[in-house]
Amino acid sequence: MDAEKQPLRIGLIGFGCVGQGFYDILQAQSGLDLAITRIAVKNPTKPRMLPAERFSYHADELLNDLELDLLIEVIDDPDEAFRLVSTALRQGRRVVTANKAMLARHLPELVQLQTQFGGTLLYEAAVCGSIPVIRTLDNYFIHEPLRAVSGIFNGSSNYVLTRMSAQGFGYGPALAEAQAKGFAETDPTLDMGAFDPRSKAVILAAHAYGVFLDADEVLNLGIEGIGAGDMARAAAQGRKIKVVAAVQRLPNGHVTALVTPQLVGPDSPLYTVEHEFNGVAIEAVYAGTQFLTGRGAGGHPTGSAVLADVLALQRGLRYGYTKQATAPEAQLTTELELNAYVSHPDASVLREVLTWLELPAEALRTDAHGAYAEGSVAVQQLWSWRKELRTNGIFVAREGSIRAAAPVAEAVAAVWA
C-alpha cells in the first residue's frame, strides 16, 4: 500500500484582507491536500483571528524553511514583496503573489529569474480579483492576435462611481463608504488616482502582447476631481462614467496603453458593471469579443484567485509568455490623440487648462454645476500636464478609444482587415 499522501505545505506571508480570505476559503474546503504550515506577519501587536503562536514575525524564516512546498506573498509593501519573491525565485521555489504594483515594476526581472533558477511564479490574484483573465490570455489566446484588452480593473473606484451615479452621493461620502466597507484603503490614492488599474494594465500587456511596459510611462488619470455636474452631464446623454484601462493594438502594429475615466453608453458591456465588480473585454481577431466579469475587490474574491494559483502550481502550471518572441513596439503618448471631456467648477481655472491642452477658448461651456469643455486632445499634452491636472482638481474623461493623430493615421495602412 502506498504511503499516505502528504498535503502541500504552504508558507503564507501576510495575513491581511487577502491572506485571511485565502485562509477562510481553505478552511471551508476539504480534500484539497493543502495545509498552511506557517504564517508570517509584520506587526506582533495587531489583533488577529488566530492565536499568536500560529505566527512568525520574520518573513525570512519562511524563505529559509525549505520544508515548505510553496510560498504565498500577500503583503501591501511592493518593495518588500519584490525582495521576498525574487529571493524565493533565486532559490528555485514555487511562489504565488497578489502584489500588482510590484509585478508592474519588476515583471521582466522576475520572468528572467524563473528561467535562470527554475522557480515558478503565478499571480492571477494580482489582476481583477476573482476574474481569471491572466489564465485566459495565457492559455486560450496563446497564439491568437488581439485587438484590445480593456475594462474596469479597480473595484474601489467603480464602487465610488456607482454610489455617485445611482444614489446621488458626492465623491467624499461615496469614498468614505467604500473605505468603511473595506473596498478602499485609508489612503485612496492608488485606487482613486488610477495607479492600481495602471499596474494591472501593464501586467496584462505582457500576456496579451508579450510587451513589458514601464508603468511610469503609461498615462493614468483618476477621479479625484469628479463632481455632481460630471455625473449629471453623463446621465443627460444616457451614459455613465467608468474608470477604464485599455491595452490595444494601433493600426501601425504598435501597442498602446492608458487608464482614464471614460464616458460609456448602454452599448458597452461595462455600462452595467457596478459596485466593486470588475469587467474585462478581450477583443480577438478571430474569436471576436469575450467579456468576463466578477468581484474585483475583497478578501474572498481575491483569496479564491490565490487558491486557483496554488492548485495550478500543484499541477505544474507555468506562464508561457509565448508572445514575447514577437512582441510589437510600444507607443504610449507620441502621435496619439483622444476625444476628451474636461471639467472644473471654476470657469477661470478651466480656461487656463484649455491652453495647457491646446483646446480653443470657444470650447468652454458653463452650466449650473460649473464649467466643462470637449474636444480632441493630444495624449502627449495630457501626459505633460498630468500632475497639474491632478493638483488643480481637473476632471478629465475620454470618449471612445485612443487613436493615432490624424496625419499619422492617414499615413499608416491598417494591420487588420
Residues catalogued as catalytic: 200
Give the per-residue pLDDT at 416: 38
3-state secondary structure of 383: helix
3-state secondary structure of 294: strand
Give the per-residue pLDDT at 410: 47
Pairing of strands 288-295, 277-284: antiparallel
- The Cα 64–Cα 357 span in angstroms is 54
Cβ atoms of 252 and 411 closer than 8 Å: no
3-state secondary structure of 27: helix
- The Cα 197–Cα 128 span in angstroms is 9
List, run by run, the mean pLDDT of 10-residue segments along the chain (417 residues). 73 95 94 95 92 95 97 96 98 97 98 97 95 95 96 96 93 93 85 97 98 98 97 97 98 97 97 96 97 90 95 95 95 97 97 97 96 98 97 96 72 41
Q: In this structure, what C-alpha cell is assigned to residue 188?
A: 485612496
Buried b (16+ CB within 10 A) or exposed e, 370-393: bbbbbeebbbbbbbebeeebbebe
- The Cα 162–Cα 285 span in angstroms is 32
Beta bridge partners of 291: 281
* CA 356 to chain CA centroid, nearest Å: 29
Q: In this structure, what C-alpha cell is assigned to residue 402?
A: 485612443
Give the per-residue pLDDT at 166: 87
Report the CATH architecture of 8-122.
3-Layer(aba) Sandwich (3.40)
Helix or strand holding residue 127 (H, E): none
Give the per-residue pLDDT at 407: 57
Beta bridge partners of 367: 370
Domain ranges of the chain: 8-122, 133-411
Buried b (16+ CB within 10 A) or exposed e, 270-294: beebbbbbbbbbbbbeeeeeeebbb
- Using the structure block, give the residue that is written with the C-alpha cell 502550471: 317
- The Cα 402–Cα 338 span in angstroms is 5
CATH of domain 133-411: 3.30.360.10
Residue 165: count of CB within 10 angstroms of its CB: 19
Give the per-residue pLDDT at 366: 97
